[in-house]
Amino acid sequence: MPRFSTNVSNPKVSNLVVSPGPEDLSALRMIFAGSPWDWEGVPTVEEARSWIARCGGLPIVICDRDLPDGGWRQLLQQTESLASPPKFIVSSRFADEELWMEVLGAGGHDVLRTPFDAGEAYRVVRFASEAWHLRWGRVARRPRSGNWLSKALGAASATGSAC
């Protein structure tokens, strides 16, 4: 497994998960344990707005399609007005081609089906992170070998959090 330093010169990259239940955040933290990506979670659009206003500068937002106080479109529109808007990924148990086309048409980056498949989550997050860092001039740190991914896939499968 690659070793990642989280010292001051090589900090973790914080991202946001907006989901009414704790399962999505827990799954992403497990999938990306040991990676350069860190995850914070909030359950509502309103809390996501507050978090973004307070913390800003995040490369990725993964937002559940169905939230108790609004929809993903509201949050996507808000993030698009930021100086360096994050890549926006919509998650749903009912992810299909129609949702994917809707998300891309609205300016989002991609769609992830829940519960998360570790390999697919890694692929989508890696591409989103690279695209954001290329666009906004920040260098992304990513795993140097497949060992980290293999271990993550095995851990996710063993716990049942992935399909």
- Asked, for residue 99, whether it belongs to a domain, the answer is yes
Contacts of 87 (CB under 8 A, 6+ apart): 59, 60, 61, 109, 110, 128, 129, 131, 132
- Asked, for residue 68, whether it belongs to a domain, the answer is yes
- Asked, for residue 162, whether it belongs to a domain, the answer is no
- Asked, for residue 159, whether it belongs to a domain, the answer is no
- Asked, for residue 156, whether it belongs to a domain, the answer is no
- CA torsion sign for 43, 49, 52, 55 is negative
pLDDT at position 119: 96
Query: 8-22: string of b/e by CB count within 10 Å (b at 16+)?
Result: eeeeebebbbbbeee
β-pair partners for 60: 87
pLDDT in tens, 75-116: 999 999 898 999 999 999 999 999 999 999 999 999 999 999
pLDDT in tens, 6-54: 333 446 889 999 999 999 999 999 999 999 899 999 999 999 999 998 8
- The residue length of the chain stands at 163
Query: Distance between CA 99 and CA 104 in Å, rounded?
Result: 9
- Domain of residue 124 covers 13-149
pLDDT at position 55: 83
pTM, two decimal places = 0.79
- Asked, for residue 154, whether it belongs to a domain, the answer is no
pLDDT at position 136: 86
- Asked, for residue 158, whether it belongs to a domain, the answer is no
- Asked, for residue 73, whether it belongs to a domain, the answer is yes
**Per-position DSSP letters for 109-161, written without gaps between them:** -EEEESSPPHHHHHHHHHHHHHHHHHHHT-PPP--SSHHHHHHHHHHHHHHT-
Contact present, 109 and 88 (Cβ < 8 Å): yes
pLDDT at position 138: 52
Q: What is the mean pLDDT of the chain?
A: 82
Tokens 């293999």, located at residue: 150
Reported confidence tier of residue 137, pLDDT bands at 50, 70, 90? low
Q: CATH no. for residue 63? A: 3.40.50.2300
Q: Specify the number of domains making up the chain.
A: 1
